[in-house]
Amino acid sequence: MRIARILSLFWRTSWAAEAEYRGNFVFAALASAGNLCASACSLWLFYQGGGGFPGWTFDESLVVLGLFSLYTGVVGSVLAPNLGRIVQHVEQGTLEFVLLKPLDSQLQVSLRVLSPWGLADVGWGVVLLVAGLARSGHAQPSLLWAIVPLSSGVVLLYALWFLVATTAVWFTKIYNATEVLRGLLDAGRFPMAAYPAAYRFVFIFIVPVAFLTTVPGEALLGRASSSMLAASPFVAAVAFVAARAFWGRAMRRYTGASG
Amino acid sequence: MSALQPTSVGDRIRAGWRIARGLFRAGYAYMTEYRAELILWALANSLPFILMGAWTQASTRGHFALSPLDLVRYFLAVFVVRQLTVVWVLWEVEQQVQGGKLAPQLLQPVDPAWRHLMNHVAERVARLPFAASLVVLFFALYPAAFFVPSAMTLALFLVLVAAAFLLRFLVQYTLAMLCFWTERASSIEQLNFVLYMFLGGAIAPLDFFPPAVRAVADWTPFPSMMWLPCRVLLGGVPTAEVARAVAVLVGWCVVFFVASRLLWRAGLRRFSAMGA
């Protein structure tokens, strides 16, 4: 309860600070719409000439694209603004202020700011998701089935970002380690069926992109395999525990701004 | 001061060369300081490889204008071209204008644009070893895709990449000039980037576009920034098409060069008026 209260305070103040730049939001919404348009067009190109992804109609692939946009929004609103600052904390020594406060340091570092930047992506993502579901004849999606893989996806995304951002404690200047991750997560635009076998192996076992968009997408369409459904919370839990442990290790290793 | 106030054309060229070399060295030294960051930037550009997988997989089922092997090579070329044409000048200008750091630069007898340009060139050289080793690694993993273009093709490719970089730089520098008027120039660049990725052919080769879209895209500056050099490297493009694309490229270079200079002058007047 205390954590919820603190989080709401955190987010209200950061939101107020960002709301000063309302004009930015219009441009962000435009850019995000343009981005999504380009993604949808490229998806459409795949379905030209009889190609496409086996087992996925165009509309069903739109569901996956919508989910991808949703996650992009979460990254833009929560993960990027917070974890991008770990580097700054380490470089300027402000991490000490975080560590001195009587509140879990991971919480403070990773969920301090809520920025409106990703909202447009979330909005367009939901539009695309609903459109894809409706057009593919799933007007009543299996929401109940999808809740578990969807929330597991969010946790997994958080854990992956946090793992990569934590390496800043060792390397200090890695503004773009998260860009590498962002690049890899781009694979989530398309269902896993789009990729050759070797890619699919990587996206399931090494960088588990499959659990971010494809598995929740299949669940929404009511045809996820039970093994993938069962695996998704497990993968998310393992990733979260690993990220938490890695942060603890980093904090034990951290000796202050001078070290 | 004599070097900076040249009298003859020869002196002028010599002075320019000396300044360019000095700026390049400073830029290169700065970039190698952050080598690790450069490696990460090189790795961050994994989108061409992701799309390579998706497109080769799709081409085994449908009928597309390019064979699977051509697609692999195309996206590898996209990766290389992206490595060699990365531009971030807008963010630098934004920082300088908003932070008032532009003022001391204006005191120097060199237009800041040259400094930005040489920094970009130096970064290319510093990044080259990593980019090259990634390409070698790729061919080691996938030897079937290996190919040696003819010397003529390779030369044309390199010239086109240089031109593509120049155009991309000019476009972004023109947008960067908007920093004098607005704080949202980077949001405009984001829109520009989306167009660049899509119409430039990073998402799919332009050969796959419907004819109507293709006809429009061909007249925009974007295809010449990526699709043109990549496609020339693969070969099989009619000479007339290449010639037209080059004409479009040169035309846009002129347009954006003039636009950036005009905006620079107008912006500078505003900058001093702002007193920031």
Asked if pLDDT for residue B52 goes beyond 90, the answer is: yes
pLDDT tens-digit series, residues A189-225: 999 999 999 999 999 888 899 999 999 999 888 888 8
Question: Could you say which of A52, A173, A182 has the minimum Cβ distance to residue B34?
Answer: A173
Residues of chain A above pLDDT 90, percent: 32
Residue B5: predicted pLDDT = 58
Residue with the larger pLDDT of the pair A17 and B79 = B79
Nearest-CA residue of chain B relative to A31?
B191
Task: Quickly state the pLDDT bin for B198 (edges 50, 70, 90).
Answer: very high
Per-residue pLDDT of A165-198, as tens digits, reads 888 887 766 667 778 888 889 899 999 999 999 9
* pLDDT score at A172: 67
Q: Quick one: pLDDT at residue B4?
A: 54
Per domain, the residue ranges of chain A are: 2-253
Q: Return d(Cα B40, Cα B253) in angstroms, integer.
A: 30
pLDDT at B57 over 50: yes
Please, which residues have CB within 8 angstroms of residue A107's CB and are 6 or more apart in sequence? Answer: A3, A6, A7
- Residue A141 binned pLDDT confidence (cut-offs 50, 70, 90): low
Q: For testing the chain B interface, which of A20, A21, A27 should be mutated: the one with the most B CBs within 10 Å?
A: A27
B→A contacts (Cβ < 8 Å), by residue, are 34, 36-37, 40-41, 43-47, 50, 53-59, 61-64, 183-184, 187-188, 190-191, 194-195, 197-198, 203-204, 208-210
Region class of A196: left (phi > 0), else alpha (psi between -120 and 50), else beta: beta
pLDDT band at A259 (very low <50, low <70, confident <90, very high): very low
Mean pLDDT of A101-126: 86
Residue B264, pLDDT > 90, answer: yes
Domains of chain B, by residue range, sit at 36-274
What's the mean pLDDT in B61-79? 88
pLDDT tens per residue, range B90-122: 999 988 888 878 888 888 888 899 999 999 999
Query: Cβ of A186 and B47 within 8 Å?
Result: yes
User: Tell me: the pLDDT tens digits for A29-49?
Assistant: 888 888 888 889 889 988 886
**Residue B274: predicted pLDDT:** 53
- pLDDT given at position A109: 84
What's the rounded Cα separation, in Å, for the pair A233 and A211? 9
Region B33-62: mean pLDDT is 84
Q: Is the pLDDT of residue B6 over 70?
A: no
DSSP string, A12-68: HHHHHHHGGGHHHHHHHHHHHHHHHHHHHHHHHHHHGGG-S-TT--HHHHHHHHHHH
Confidence class of residue B226 from pLDDT cuts 50, 70 and 90? very high
Phi, psi (5° rounding) for residue A213? -115, -40
First to last CA, chain A: 36
Name the percent of chain A lying above pLDDT 70.
95
Identify the CA nearest to B117 among candidates B184, B180, B162.
B162
Average pLDDT (B7-36) is: 85
Cβ distance A186 to B34 less than 8 Å, yes or no, reads: no
Residues recorded for chain A: 259
